Structure 1
Amino acid sequence: MPLDRNPSGKGRIDYVLWGDNGNPLALVETKRTKKTAEIGQQQAKLYADCLEQKFGQRPLIFYSNGYQTYLWDDYTYPPREIQGFLKKDELERLIFRRKNRKKLHLVPVNNDIVNRSYQTEAIRQITEAFSQNIRKALLVMATGTGKTRTSIALIDLLKRANWVNRVLFLADREALVTQAFRAFKSHLPQANIIDLTKSKTSQAITANIVVSTYPTMFNRLNDMGDKERMFGVGHFDLIIVDEAHRSIYQKYQTLFDYFDGLLVGLTATPRNEVHRDTYRIFELESGVPTFAYELDDAIKDGYLVPPQGINVPFKFLRTGVKYTELSPEEQEEYEAKFYDEEKDTLPNKIDSTALNRWLFNENSIDQALEILMEFGLKVEGGDKLGKTIIFARNHEHAEFIVQRFNKNYRHYKGHFARVIDSHDPYAQSTFDDFSESQKQPTIAVSVDMLDTGVDVPEILNLVFFKPVFSTVKFNQMIGRGTRLCPDLFGIGDDKREFLIFDLCGNFEYFEQQVTEKEQKPRKSLTTRLFKARLVLSQQLNQDNKTLQEYILDNLHEHISSMEKENFLVRRQLNIVEEFTDRKRWNRLNSQDLNLINNSLATLPNGLPTEKRLSKEFDLLCTQLQLAILEQSSNFIRLRDKVRDILHGLESKREIPMVKAKLPLIEEVQGENWWTDVTPAMVETLRRQLRDLVPLLDRQQQQIVYTNFIDELEDISKQDVPTHQTGFSPYQYKKKVETYICNNENHLAIAKLKRNLTLTESDLESIEEMLFNSPEIESRERFEEVYGKNINLKLFIRKLVGLERSAAKQTFSRYLQPRFRTSKSSIKYYKPGVNN
């Protein structure tokens, strides 16, 4: 060690992690928990210098204070915080790669996996980022352009370059995981690939590639402590996130924080629709992904087929059912089904939002199916409807659509149209049949399951039997039909378009360019209850000291029950341990409250699981206690909700548990009990009745079936409002270069090809041709992509080339003696400048 640090010239390393060959793989410098981990960085570096000098191998550097741990592989990356230490084989892989990983730009892309220019360009953009020591990349590619294939080719390249060994591929649904698993098996048959949703964790440990849903991997990590955890933080070298959008990160960001591998996000969401938080996670400027290739690009280049919209304006689905507009017979049916005997009322209208949610009208569905069967695109010479997805509103709606189809088209014997959604444990098998062109079903009626990610090129018809209020979701659903399908209608007769039947006004909605409301993920019931009790504990005064102590005890128990080995809890372990001390809760300040709310309230606890209805009643009572203390206008609403619950319990008087509490139940429903009510009274009520609340029956909206004649206005073709949000430099360059090559006979360009000197007027004519053309758009756009200092002559000559005779003439001049013998000429001659 340096003598200015230690006069003896020696130091004591806290930990060294040794390889089997006796060389140091890593060292760990530890600091007290009261100090920051960063204090140990320089000390650890000096130790690494000493070990490298002695053993000829530089170890990886860890420094930690027990709560925060940093890994510094100073051969390749700056320090980064990680969630634990790497295992021996993981450290050995990192050491091995220092000398054995190849330069990525020298490793060819496997054209047997991807064969389109934009896919190769996407891989090159990602590998260029990785080569610059950037560890994250975001890929924006329209549905149907081969995101999964591109990611497989990327994995193949990184494996051949010795950059990665183990890969994790994450998707949000099992159907997409199954689809990805099959694609990996097809294109990387030599790899050991495991589907974690169908395999044990122990089977996945030895796999090269693990595919999983987010919840499956999350739960596998969450269910195991450190001693049992088989997936260490360094287990995967590369994590690929399918459909990388904000809601995934809000819910599962801890997964990406836990694993230390390179991170690649895939999304079909147009770049300007990708939320800024997603860009932040990938450490990118908002609106600027690593690579983008969007829907309009793919359609123009012939890689996707365009949609053709069919507007089907059903009156009921757009405006609802009005009593006064029904026939006398229909009014009788309306009265029988919607008259409320208790209130002696009849609604004058059933709103359109009820249609296909709980009100199913036979005539509307029958007409919609008739339109699909008549006008939908056909195959087999027009004899058979092409593959079709009907997007239903809910499971009951999907089932009713299939019921009406089977009633009206009995000759298909129940095989032609099938429900495919999460209610059926064998839905994947039905989808597999739907995916094969010669198998049934032909019509897949789905709720959410087929909205995104599925790849069936034969799809010719999409039926929107529900409104969609998300631009991102709408574009994803449209993407189900965009894939190419050669010879679909016969040899040489390819798929050229697909139809979208819009029954619910989606086209009109999205033509208005509606700004979507930002949806925040709903906090769990446990989290909301914890936060409400935390607020209540600070609102109570000396008059409610006993209640305050009880609530603080409850909050403390919630935190102290947390499993410290849980990978979510470990990230906040210093805060958890601080508030495990019960005395700490007696002196909370505003900073403490923020810390508890933001860092601890959402963590899993070890308390016994309780019934949801009991916890909902706890939350209602806590909100009521707060309303009493704050003298809030919410008091009456919350009081009446409690009364309604007690009124429901009163009807269960035959149950002994309820019978024993009937005096209290009846008293609380009276006005006198609520006069001068206190938080302590509500607390007593809560404790005595919370276990009875689950005995109540949940009131659900009854399904109503009607057969009113629905009015259908003229069916019309309509452009589908798909929005190309954002500008693609890749597409723009292709357009510019094609335009110039198509105009190589332009006088000035022809001169360039023959290596003739251009006049000022020639240069002006070139600029006029370029910057006044719709393909180039403008000088500003051109300079935005190519830069302001570009030499137009050299740029164009590089594209159109030099005629053979002109090239030979130029080369013969180069060989003249003045270039070979004159020292003065050589002195001033610079290739590429004066030649």
Structure 2
Amino acid sequence: MKRLQDVDQQISLKLLNIGWETSDFDKREITFSKEHKYLLYLQNSTNNIVSKIIGLAELRHFSKIKRKVLTEAKLLGISWIFISDGETIILWDIFNDDSRYLSSFYSPNDLQRKYYLNITRKELKKLPIEDLQNLRSFHREAIEYLSDAIDKGKRSIKINMVLGTGRTFLMLKFVKMMIHAKVAQKILIIVNFVHEASQILERFKSEFPNIGCSLITSGNSSDFTGNDILITTSNKLNSSFQSLSSSSIDALIRLDADNVNLTKRNIIDGHFDALKIYFSSVLGNDEKADFNYTISDAIKDGVLAQVKFISVTDEKYYTNQHRHDDNESRFIEAEMIKKYVSLNESDRKTIVYTSSKFQAYTVTAILNEACPQHGIKYAELVTSDNNSFEVNEIVNRFRYNEFPKILVNVNMLETGIDIPEVENIVILKKLNSPAQMHQIISRGSRINEITNKDKLYIYDYFNNFEMLNDLNKAPKKSRINYLDEKESYKPKFETSLFLEIGGNSHQIRKSDYIKKWEEYIKFLSQSDPIIQGILEHKSMSHTNEDELLKTITNEYHFSEENLKNAYNMQDMNLKEFVLLAVGKLVKKSNEERFNEQIINWKKNQNFTRTQEIFIDVLKNICLKKGKINYKAFNVTIKRLAESIFIQNDLETVIREVHKIYKNEMSNDNSNIT
């Protein structure tokens, strides 16, 4: 069992790390049974005491003093009690009658802010909903549900709304309500892309001229100070977010819930003790949302155009044997596009989604040859070879001019554009997930009153529409799914030989993923200007970063987070992974990383010099034998170990060293299976 003195040292270190001074607290040692005592930390301040910290050698002992402590806290008007054994921290939120795990204590400034919010907070459902004339009925329903759920103490809410139905608009309105009701002051909003973050920032500045809004560009703690509304992407929240206190934000809103890696989301979101609102556009087969507005609902309500799927996979000339394999298949694809979409006779705009640049170039060329229009391009191509200015120029020509009629692209037009003029979408590739299918549909799903467009035709060569589970079903009578919510989240950090990619939970061996990544980057390095710039150590702009993400996005879902998990190297960025792929950055061996992690772990613990030396002995045993078998130790080593560690502490240390060893040596190049 831990000594209370050790618990005190660990708690004091954690408090110092987030800005507290030892003089900020009065510390008392209280006996609650013959064998046990606990430490009580009270704020040393002339102001009202709003929190207590209780230090226990074993957390299970809190049950013996719980009733007394909670009764006293309520009498004194204390809002929070923190219970800790020096490592684990549990918060008892008296204001909301809830308990949950924390990654850290509250910092002094955050404690003051949260206390102010508690005593000034209003009920959301009693606030008038502004701008009613611009809100559709389902927007009002979503706001009413969010208001009621948050007022009742629900801390994690999922809103599923199909793309094109005003998710960002709804989010802006509700953030304004939360600020006015004093539900939240510090709000973090996470989106997919940097350019999307910039667009939302401008809308917030227009909506909240008197509130500080900013983009987080590095994930450093300095980005979280000053402004109240912070907007970023998951890729920008690097490992440095862990240096922040758990109380740094009051609310976290994700608009990227469809695309972000679940493991990464849990690690980031679990760090913050905050209200969490997730916006998604599609649900998996077993997923549930608290509020659900599907594509079927949107079509029924006349918000989106009716979607008509035409399966082209039964064409006798278009067989599985030669899809995307040769020039003949490209010719057949182009001929079939002309046949089904009636290109020569229709003014309907069309977007074509292809699987590779070669396929896109060939299809575009054949379409232009077959449809000459006095020297004007009938079909135009968009790939990662185009910079952002060129992409915008081509899209604007397509949208506002008579020609081109067709836009052919490779992984470029799945997000970030909205073209109501589009009446046909042609899919010449196998998609990875329902979310990707929804994103493509949403490029042309809006109704166009100018052209009287009320239908969108999807020409699907791979029966991708079969993965959609919410399109041809009748809308539910109620969009609200009432879920019981009293949950605590404790962050988990796990390592395995497999990597989960894509929205359909597809798994791939990490070694195979790394191999595909290195092959792909070596291929791109021959022609791609952004990759070549990285290899020449040139700086990258935000636009370059977005273009790089689009370039590397394929069926393997290459991303910075997936690469971190595949290589098991959490401290690297996407640029470094590109250099690593071509051999311009040397990957540390498993043994080197194991040594580094042991050093870092020791720095964060309160070990004596003698204990650190013995831990190095354990480390060397791990490296030599692959595991630590304490029973096999000779008598001398056992006596030495037991003289410098309490028995329980020794078991904890051995488990931790072995855990670090397994994590760092479980990379696919190791012999651990």
Is the TM value for this pair above 0.5?
A: yes
Q: CA contact under 8 A between 1:175 and 1:428: conserved in structure 2?
A: no
Q: Does 1:582 align with 2:569?
A: no
One of 468, 482, 489 as aligned partner of 2:445 = 482
Q: Which residue is 1:291 aligned to?
A: 291
One of 123, 129, 135 as aligned partner of 1:109 = 129
Q: Does 1:318 align with 2:276?
A: no
Q: How does 1:749-828 map to 2 (within 5 A)?
A: none
Query: What are the superposed Cα offsets for residues 530-568 of structure 1, whole Å, 9 maximum, x if unpaired?
Result: 9xxxxxxxxxxxxxxxxxxxxxxx8665334128879xx
Q: How does 1:331-346 map to 2 (within 5 A)?
A: none
Aligned in 2, Cα 1:443/1:354: closer, same or farther, shift over 3 Å?
Answer: closer
- Quick one: which amino acid aligns to residue 462 of structure 1? I
State the Cα distance separating 1:120 from its structure 2 match: 1.2
Q: Which residue is 1:389 aligned to?
A: 351
Aligned in 2, Cα 1:311/1:189: closer, same or farther, shift over 3 Å?
Answer: farther
Distance 2:51 2:566 in 1: 43
Aligned in 2, Cα 1:313/1:248: closer, same or farther, shift over 3 Å?
Answer: closer
Q: How does 1:450-465 map to 2 (within 5 A)?
A: 450-452=413-415, 454-465=417-428
Q: Which residue is 1:27 aligned to?
A: 52
> Secondary structure of 2:135's match?
coil
- Quick one: which amino acid aligns to residue 331 of structure 2? N
Query: What are the superposed Cα offsets for residues 646-679 of structure 1, whole Å, 9 maximum, x if unpaired?
Result: xxxxxxxxxxxxxxxxxxxxxxxxxxxxxxxxxx
Q: Does 1:146 align with 2:146?
A: no
Q: CA contact under 8 A between 1:402 and 1:419: conserved in structure 2?
A: no
Query: What are the superposed Cα offsets for residues 368-420 of structure 1, whole Å, 9 maximum, x if unpaired?
Result: 56458744996xxxxx543x432110234334444555666575766962415
Q: Which residue is 1:558 aligned to?
A: 593
Q: Does 1:307 align with 2:307?
A: yes
Q: Which residue is 1:519 aligned to?
A: 506
Q: Does 1:261 align with 2:281?
A: no
Distance 2:613 2:166 in 1: 47
Q: CA contact under 8 A between 1:433 and 1:439: conserved in structure 2?
A: no
- Quick one: which amino acid aligns to residue 70 of structure 1? I
Structure 1 vs Structure 2 CA RMSD? 5.0
- Quick one: which amino acid aligns to residue 442 of structure 2? G
State the Cα distance separating 1:212 from its structure 2 match: 1.9
Q: CA contact under 8 A between 2:163 and 2:442: conserved in structure 1?
A: yes
Q: Which residue is 2:261 aligned to?
A: 248
Q: Which residue is 2:642 aligned to?
A: none
Distance 1:431 1:77 in 2: 56
TM-score w.r.t. the length of structure 1 is 0.51
Query: What are the superposed Cα offsets for residues 605-643 of structure 1, whole Å, 9 maximum, x if unpaired?
Result: 9xxxxxxxxx98x55xx59xx9xxxxxxxxxxxxxxxxx
Q: Which residue is 1:352 aligned to?
A: 322
Aligned in 2, Cα 1:4/1:213: closer, same or farther, shift over 3 Å?
Answer: closer
Aligned in 2, Cα 1:385/1:78: closer, same or farther, shift over 3 Å?
Answer: same
Distance 1:412 1:209 in 2: 51
State the Cα distance separating 1:252 from its structure 2 match: 3.0
Aligned in 2, Cα 1:359/1:18: closer, same or farther, shift over 3 Å?
Answer: farther
- Quick one: which amino acid aligns to residue 559 of structure 1? F
> Secondary structure of 2:447's match?
coil
Distance 1:435 1:73 in 2: 55
Aligned in 2, Cα 1:439/1:215: closer, same or farther, shift over 3 Å?
Answer: farther
Q: How does 1:602-641 map to 2 (within 5 A)?
A: 618=669, 622=671
Query: What are the superposed Cα offsets for residues 49-68 of structure 1, whole Å, 9 maximum, x if unpaired?
Result: 76887xx6525322222321
One of 432, 436, 455 as aligned partner of 1:473 = 436
Q: CA contact under 8 A between 1:415 and 1:440: conserved in structure 2?
A: yes
Q: Which residue is 1:500 aligned to?
A: 458
Aligned in 2, Cα 1:597/1:169: closer, same or farther, shift over 3 Å?
Answer: farther
Aligned in 2, Cα 1:298/1:51: closer, same or farther, shift over 3 Å?
Answer: closer
Q: CA contact under 8 A between 1:435 and 1:456: conserved in structure 2?
A: no
Q: Does 1:61 align with 2:81?
A: yes
Q: Which residue is 2:360 aligned to?
A: 398
> Secondary structure of 2:507's match?
coil
Q: How does 1:542-553 map to 2 (within 5 A)?
A: none
Q: How does 1:272-287 map to 2 (within 5 A)?
A: 273-276=284-287, 287=288
Q: CA contact under 8 A between 1:44 and 1:62: conserved in structure 2?
A: no
Aligned in 2, Cα 1:29/1:319: closer, same or farther, shift over 3 Å?
Answer: same
Q: CA contact under 8 A between 2:360 and 2:409: conserved in structure 1?
A: yes
TM-score w.r.t. the length of structure 2 is 0.62
> Secondary structure of 1:318's match?
coil
Q: CA contact under 8 A between 1:319 and 1:352: conserved in structure 2?
A: yes
Query: What are the superposed Cα offsets for residues 299-318 of structure 1, whole Å, 9 maximum, x if unpaired?
Result: 11111110233455685873
Aligned in 2, Cα 1:95/1:448: closer, same or farther, shift over 3 Å?
Answer: same
Distance 1:263 1:564 in 2: 35
Aligned in 2, Cα 1:194/1:426: closer, same or farther, shift over 3 Å?
Answer: farther
Distance 2:613 2:95 in 1: 36
- Quick one: which amino acid aligns to residue 352 of structure 1? H
Q: Which residue is 1:535 aligned to?
A: none
- Quick one: which amino acid aligns to residue 352 of structure 2? I
> Secondary structure of 1:152's match?
helix
Aligned in 2, Cα 1:167/1:266: closer, same or farther, shift over 3 Å?
Answer: same
State the Cα distance separating 1:291 from its structure 2 match: 1.0
State the Cα distance separating 1:101 from its structure 2 match: 0.5
Q: Which residue is 1:206 aligned to?
A: 226
Distance 2:183 2:205 in 1: 21
Q: Does 1:155 align with 2:175?
A: yes
State the Cα distance separating 1:87 from its structure 2 match: 2.2
Aligned in 2, Cα 1:558/1:413: closer, same or farther, shift over 3 Å?
Answer: same
Q: CA contact under 8 A between 2:117 and 2:184: conserved in structure 1?
A: no
> Secondary structure of 2:153's match?
coil
Aligned in 2, Cα 1:188/1:305: closer, same or farther, shift over 3 Å?
Answer: farther
Q: Which residue is 2:96 aligned to?
A: 76
Q: Mark the runs of 5 or more structure 1 residues left unpaired by the alignment.
A: 277-286, 321-350, 379-383, 531-553, 606-614, 627-835
Q: If you compute each CA radius of gyration, which structure gives the higher value, 1 or 2?
A: 1
- Quick one: which amino acid aligns to residue 281 of structure 2? A
Q: Does 1:124 align with 2:144?
A: yes
Query: What are the superposed Cα offsets for residues 321-347 of structure 1, whole Å, 9 maximum, x if unpaired?
Result: xxxxxxxxxxxxxxxxxxxxxxxxxxx
Aligned in 2, Cα 1:78/1:117: closer, same or farther, shift over 3 Å?
Answer: same
Distance 1:60 1:399 in 2: 62
> Secondary structure of 1:244's match?
coil
